[in-house]
Amino acid sequence: MIMARKRISTQYGFTLIELIIAVAVSLVVILGVAVSLVDSQRSWHRLYNRAFSDVVTDAYVARKTFNAAIRKASKNGFFIDDNGNGIEVCYYADDNSTSVDRYARFYELNGELNLIRGKLDPKVTLEVQTVCGNVSECLFTTAGRSAQMILTLDNGSQTITTVSCALMHNE
Amino acid sequence: MNLKKVLQSKECGSAVVLVALVVVLLSLMGLGLLQIGLSSRLLATQATNKIKACSAADAGLTKALFEINKKLKAKALSDQSLPQVTDETLPGCDATFSYKITAASIKAALGVNSLTIESVGKYGYATRKVHALIGLKGLFDSAILVKDRMSLMPNTLVTGYNSADPTDKDFDLKIGTTSTLADRIPLGPGTVVEGDVFVGIGGDPQTVIGAGGTITGNKYALDMEPDFPVITPSSLLTDWGTSLSAKGETITINSAGSGTYSGIDLSKADGNPGTLEIQGGKVVLHITGNIDLGQGCELIVRPGSSLVLYIDGDISADNSVGVNNQAGNVKDFQLYATGTGDQVFNLKAKSSVFGTVYAPKVDITLYPSVEMRGAIVGKSVTFKSGGKFYYDEALRDNVSIDDEGARFIVKRWGEE
């Protein structure tokens, strides 16, 4: 009997307590790693969105397009819609133009910021371009010879507001 | 003891693999985060650099315009002295700008309107270039411009002509005020303005402009404040230390008599009016006191002569007096208010008045017997006795570098 006990006690194995402790420790470690992984993944995703999401790139494109159009616009003859949702400026087609012969109109419609370019006298539309989508709010204002666009983009998960201001340089 | 044996056993375990896997995953994510951070920072830096370079280029163009206008005012503009700088630092910023003004010839350039400014802004690796075609702007873009009130009597006609092109019948004129107060431009019954009428920034044209009269053009509010350059007489004028006085006689001044005088006093004596006659080239007078024109007296500018009059004081005129610019060329009589205090001008004429009046701080009252041709800038203008006011479009369209108050402005602008 004593011999049998000794034989049994020399067999390899874990006690229940050891297993419980091992499992608990493993769970804590795995949980920690998992939390860390998920947190890292969320941070990565958040940072990626902040840098490269569609609203961010759209806002950048809208700002650049607006600035380029306003900077070359004529300070004589620009119009703002009564509700501030649209602005129209006039400009010279190129260096050979003897008078202001083009117009550009920014306006917000159904959540999109659109840009129409066309000829003046007679007024003919040449191009309609959607600058960006996900527009939740768009307001244009002018002061003196400068124009401002306050654009809020919202894709459901991220909201960004960008403000662009540019001076009309042409006569 | 058993556990120790197990740990010391040579059997392969999975923990090391798992830990290595987690470390690799976390490292990859960390690297990804760093990469995104670096990329977004690079993008932001590039965008910032471009904005700074753009601002520097704009500043360069503005500085070039300022420098050429400074030279123009000092009458020191020549083909050899066109402003130019290279890599000047923008104050408060590390960005630099360079600008260059080019023209084959100043005089030729103004003829064909091809004086250009090219400005390059740099910050880091970002470079921005803007260019502009500049042209001259004079003091008289508007037929009548006031800071306060403009009063046109009933049946006044405001219209235009072009002394440089008599065939031009397509007049483009405007009158207006920079004020936004109510009823600053009361138009009398029968008054006709053949052009636009503007009011100050933010003003309501319906309340600022009176309901009477007819306006063939548009009524609108300014979107930019017009500039009123300060005019100062040349410091090179000879100070004669006396006044020009004619009592019942005629005194004649030619270009050699140009200079600074303490006043002009014309009065009647023995039934004869006093007359100041300008004859013989361009006469420039700086009057530090008042001009008093007694009954029947006249200031006559003979054909082939011209008078540029700077006055620090008031102009008062009795009955049947006036300024008689006989050639009828509006540039032959130019009147500039140069006083620092309050001034009042009462301008009369036995017949028509031809000339320009630039007095943005002065209350001006005009009594032309027939008509006035030219342009007026004043604090307030009262056009008595109705009649006609003809704006000479050549004052706006044919500005020369020798004109008083002329300055360069950007006519065309572009960027690359």
Q: CB under 8 Å to B408, separation ≥6 — which residues?
A: B65, B68, B69, B72, B115, B134, B135, B136, B137
Residue B88 belongs to some domain of the structure: yes
How does pLDDT run across A3-39, given as a tens digit for each residue? 555 555 556 778 889 889 988 998 998 898 889 888 8
Is the torsion defined by CA of B348, B353, B355, B358 positive or negative?
positive
Residue B386 belongs to some domain of the structure: yes
Q: Are residues B52 and B193 in the same domain?
A: no
Residue B17 belongs to some domain of the structure: no
Q: Nearest residue on chain A to B32, judged by CA atoms?
A: A44
Tell me, rounded to whole angstroms, the distance of Cα A48 from its chain centroid.
Answer: 11
pLDDT, mean of residues A119-147: 92
Q: Are residues B113 and B190 in the same domain?
A: no
Q: Give residue B234's domain range.
A: 144-396
The residues of B whose Cβ lies within 8 A of any Cβ of A are 2-3, 5-6, 22, 25-26, 29-30, 32-33, 36-37, 39-40, 43, 47, 58, 132, 201, 223-225, 409-415
Contacts of B201 in chain A (CB under 8 A): 144
For residues B320 and B350, the answer to whether their CB atoms sit within 8 Å is yes
Residue B243 belongs to some domain of the structure: yes
Cite the beta strand spans of B280-321 per DSSP E: 281-287, 291-293, 298-301, 305-311, 315-317
Residue B5 belongs to some domain of the structure: no
For residues B160 and B171, the answer to whether their CB atoms sit within 8 Å is yes
pLDDT, mean of residues B241-253: 91
Q: Are residues B222 and B81 in the same domain?
A: no
Residue B41 belongs to some domain of the structure: no
The owner of tokens 């009548």 is B144
Q: Is B154 helix (H, G, I), strand (E, B) or coil?
A: coil
Q: Are residues B209 and B133 in the same domain?
A: no
Give the count of beta carbons closer than 10 Å to the beta carbon of residue B386. Answer: 17
Q: How confident is the model at residue A1 (pLDDT cuts 50, 70, 90)?
A: very low
Q: Is B259 helix (H, G, I), strand (E, B) or coil?
A: strand
Report the C-alpha gap between B415 and B131 in whole angstroms.
6
Q: Return the pLDDT at A46.
A: 83
Interface test with B, best of A27, A35, A44 (most B CBs within 10 A): A44
Report the C-alpha gap between B39 and B230 in whole angstroms.
53
Q: CB under 8 Å to B32, separation ≥6 — which residues?
A: A44
Q: Kindly report the nearest CA distance between residue B411 and chain A, in angstroms.
A: 5
Q: Work out whether strand A102-109 and strand A86-91 pair parallel, antiparallel, or are unpaired.
A: antiparallel
A122-141 residues touching B, CB cutoff 8 A:
none
Q: Are residues B54 and B121 in the same domain?
A: yes
Q: Are residues B122 and B257 in the same domain?
A: no
Q: Return the pLDDT at B1.
A: 47
Q: Are residues B116 and B134 in the same domain?
A: yes
ipTM above 0.85, yes or no: no
Q: Are residues B150 and B82 in the same domain?
A: no
How does pLDDT run across B16-51, given as a tens digit for each residue? 887 888 788 888 888 888 888 888 888 889 989 999
pLDDT, mean of residues A74-103: 88
How does pLDDT run across B362-383, given as a tens digit for each residue? 999 887 666 888 999 999 998 8
pLDDT at B113 over 60: no
The whole-model pTM stands at 0.79
The answer to whether A40 contacts B37, with C-beta atoms less than 8 Å apart, is: no
* Angle subtended by helix axes A16-52 and A54-71, to nearest 10: 10
Q: Are residues B127 and B214 in the same domain?
A: no
Q: Are residues B297 and B363 in the same domain?
A: yes
For chain B, how many structural domains are there in total?
2
Q: Return the pLDDT at B164.
A: 86
Q: Nearest residue on chain A to B22, judged by CA atoms?
A: A33
Q: Are residues B243 and B261 in the same domain?
A: yes
Q: Kindly report the nearest CA distance between residue A55 and chain B, in angstroms.
A: 15
pLDDT at B197 over 90: yes
Residues pairing with A124 in the sheet = A119
The answer to whether B36 contacts A51, with C-beta atoms less than 8 Å apart, is: yes
The answer to whether A33 contacts B33, with C-beta atoms less than 8 Å apart, is: no
Going by the DSSP 8-state scheme, the letter that residue B273 receives in this structure is P
Q: Are residues B409 and B335 in the same domain?
A: no
